Amino acid sequence: METTHARGPDIPTSLTITSSSIADGRIQRVHACREQGGEDQSLSLTVHGLPPETRFLCVIVDDPDAMKPTGKVWVHWNVFNIETRGEMVDFRAGQPLGGEVGLNSSGQAAYQGMCPPDGRHTYRLAVFASRERLQVDTSKPWTLDDFQRAYGNRTIGSAQVSAQFGGD
């Protein structure tokens, strides 16, 4: 599992993400769509090292490899303004995160399981921490890159993990 870190301007961060839904760089089948033998169960997520001033988290899961078959980065999950306190938070697989659920690329305000139409895809799971509630338009799907461009300067830490699914 690869973890990368990003941060707002001049703000140190030690934010990390782990997920029991990912083993050996692969997303477990239960988190895939039903057509791929899954259960559309949202991913587990543990975030460590939250800055002390963190009050809200945003979670984005997208699939940049979907660009070839669909013409766009596919958004599987958008959850914004999840209230939190402390330096660690643990979300269990299949459980609601709270916060404001945004649209996925299928137009639903829900988690959408991995369903690559053309073999193995690499999915990105990102978490952004903020001091304040972000005014995010939940009527559209947000890719990780779009969110970073629009709100990255208002976050105090972020982390990303990438994992693959499909092509079995």
- Indicate the range of 12-21, 59-68, 73-82 predicted with least confidence: 12-21
User: Which domains are seen in the chain, by residue range?
Assistant: 2-165 (3.90.280.10)
pLDDT at 71: 95
Query: How many CB atoms are located within 10 Å of the residue 71 CB?
Result: 8
Instruction: Report the pLDDT value the prediction gives residue 96, as an integer from 0 to 100.
Output: 82
How many CB atoms within 10 Å of residue 96? 13
pLDDT of 10 > 70? The answer is: no
pLDDT at 108 over 80: yes
Q: Is the pLDDT of residue 69 over 60?
A: yes
